[in-house]
Amino acid sequence: MLILSLHKNLHLGFALLSPVAGSAGIAIADVAIGACVTQHAISHTYLAGDMQSLCGMSSSIGALLGFSLSGFFVHLVGAKGVFGLLAIPASLVVLVGILLRESQVRNFAYRRVKEKIVDASKVMWTTLKCRDVWRPCLYIYLSLALGLHIHEGMFYWYTDAKEGPSFSQEVVGSIFSVGAVGSLFGVLLYQNFLKNHPFRDILFWAQLLHGVSGLLDLVLVLRINLKLGMPDYFFVVVDEAVSRMIGRIKWMPFLVLSSKLFPSGIEGTFFALIMSIDQIGLLSSAWSGGLVLHMLNVTRTQFDNLWIAIVIRSPLRLIPIGFLFLMPRSDPNLSILPSEMLRTKRGNDVLEPENIEMATLVNSI
C-alpha cells in the first residue's frame, strides 16, 4: 500500500501485484484466527454460534468505520493518499500477531514435516469424501456463484449525472457505511433470535428475501421511487441496509456450519480450503455478472439495459433454495463430523486448546 501511495510512475504489473500481496497477507491472518475459532468451536460446540457472531460483529464494525471515512479521505488526500493510509490497518494486524500469547512448541520433529503433510492431506481427503462435508460445501458454492455480482454497474449508475442520482464520493461512502450498520444489525438478529434454528430454515427464508430484495434495485433504476415521492438517497440507503442485513443473516449459518466441518489437527489448512471454495464462488459470481453486463452493453456511461441485468439476477438468487437438501438438518449446536474425526492428537508438537489466547475468552463465557 505504501508503494502504491508513494511511487509516482509505478509499472502496471507492480501496481496489480501490490494489492494482491496485501490481500494474501490478510488472508493468512484470517486463516490463523479462523483456525483458533474452529478449534474452540469443536471443543465448545454450544459456543460456535456465539464465536461466529462475535467475529461477524467485529467485521461489521470495521466495515462501518472504513466506509464512513473512505469518501472523506478520498476527497481530502486523494486515491493515492488513501492507499498510504491502508498501510495502518495492515500494520495493526502485524502488531496483533506480535502480541498474541502462545505457548512455545518444544521438541518439534522437523524431520517429520513431510510425513505430517502427507497425513494432513489424507485427513483432508477423507473429510471431503464425508457426505456431511462435501454437500454443504457444494451448496455454499452454488449459493455464492448464482448471486450474479453486478455491483460495478450499480456503482457507476450511482455516480452518473445523466441517468443516475449523481452521488458524490462522500455520499457513496456514507451509503456503504449505512450498509455496514445493516450488516451489524443482521449479526445481532442472528445472535439473539436465529442461532438455535435449523440451518435449512434460516437459509430458506434468507435466500428468499435475498432474491426479493434484489428487486429494490429495479425500482431505483427505473426511477419508480421518484414517482412514489421517495428521494434517491433515502431509497438507496434503505436498499443497502436491507440487502446487507439479509446478506449477513444468510452468511452467518455458513460460518457456523463451516466451523463444524474441520477435523482436529488441521483446522487452519481445512479452513483455508473452505474459504477458497467461498472465494471461487464469489469469483464465479463476479465473472458471470461482468459477462452479463458486457452482453447487455452496460458500461460506465451506458445504462439502458441495466434493469435487465437486475431482472436476471433476482430469479438466479432463488435457485439455491432448490438445493437446500444438501444442508444438514441437525441441531446447529451439535457436532456434524463423526466423533473419530474430532479427536485431537496428543504429543509434544501439538498445542492444546488451553494454550491458545482465545481459551481465556471461551472459558470465561
Is residue 318 pLDDT above 90, yes or no? yes
> Is residue 358 over pLDDT 70?
no
Decide if pLDDT at 33 tops 90. Answer: no
pLDDT at 76 over 50: yes
Cell 457436532 -> residue: 335
Highest mean pLDDT among 50-64, 93-107, 239-253, 324-338: 239-253
Is pLDDT at 346 greater than 50 in this prediction? no
What does the pLDDT read at residue 288? 94
Q: What is the pLDDT of residue 362?
A: 35
| HSE value, Cβ hemisphere, 13 Å, CA-based, for 8 | 0
pLDDT of res. 94: 81
**Residue 208, pLDDT score:** 95
Q: pLDDT band at 338, cuts 50/70/90?
A: low
**For residue 360, what pLDDT band results from cuts at 50, 70 and 90?**
very low
> What's the pLDDT at 345?
46
C-beta separation of 38 from 271 below 8 A: yes
Q: Is the pTM of this model over 0.85?
A: no
Task: Give CA angle at 147 (234, 217), nearest 5°.
Answer: 25
85 CB-near residues (< 8 Å, 6+ apart): 73, 77
Q: Which grid cell is 308?
A: 435487465
192-202 average pLDDT score: 88
Give the mean pLDDT of 254-277: 76
Q: Judge whether residue 310 has pLDDT over 70.
A: yes
**Average pLDDT for the chain:** 81
What tens digit of pLDDT does each residue of 98-141 get? Answer: 887 777 777 767 777 778 778 878 888 888 888 888 899 899 99
pLDDT of residue 204: 95
Domain residue ranges of the chain, discontinuous segments joined by +: 1-100+114-328
Per-residue pLDDT, averaged over 242-255, amounts to 88
Interior/surface letters 341-359, b for 16+ CB within 10 angstroms, e for the rest = bbeeeeeeeeeebeebeeb
Q: What percent of the chain has pLDDT over 70?
A: 87
Which is more confident, 349 or 104?
Answer: 104
Please state, for a pLDDT cut of 90, what percent of the chain lies above it. Answer: 23
Q: What is the pLDDT of residue 365?
A: 35
Residue 29 reports pLDDT greater than 50 = yes
Report, in angstroms and rounded to the nearest whole number, the Rg of the chain calculated over CA atoms.
22
- For residues 71-82, give the mean pLDDT: 80
> What pLDDT does residue 151 have?
87
Given the C-alpha cell 427464508, which residue does it identify? Answer: 205
Number of neighbouring beta carbons within 10 Å of residue 190 = 27
- The third-level CATH classification (topology) of the domain covering 1-100+114-328 is Growth Hormone; Chain: A; (1.20.1250)
Q: What is the pLDDT, as a whole number, of residue 131? A: 84
Work out the pLDDT band at 296, boundaries 50, 70, 90: very high
| Confidence at 361, pLDDT banded by 50, 70, 90 | very low
Cα–Cα distance, 127 to 338 (Å, whole number): 10
Q: What is the mean pLDDT of residues 286-311?
A: 92
165 close to 232: Cβ distance less than 8 angstroms: yes
pLDDT value for 42 = 67
pLDDT at 289: 93
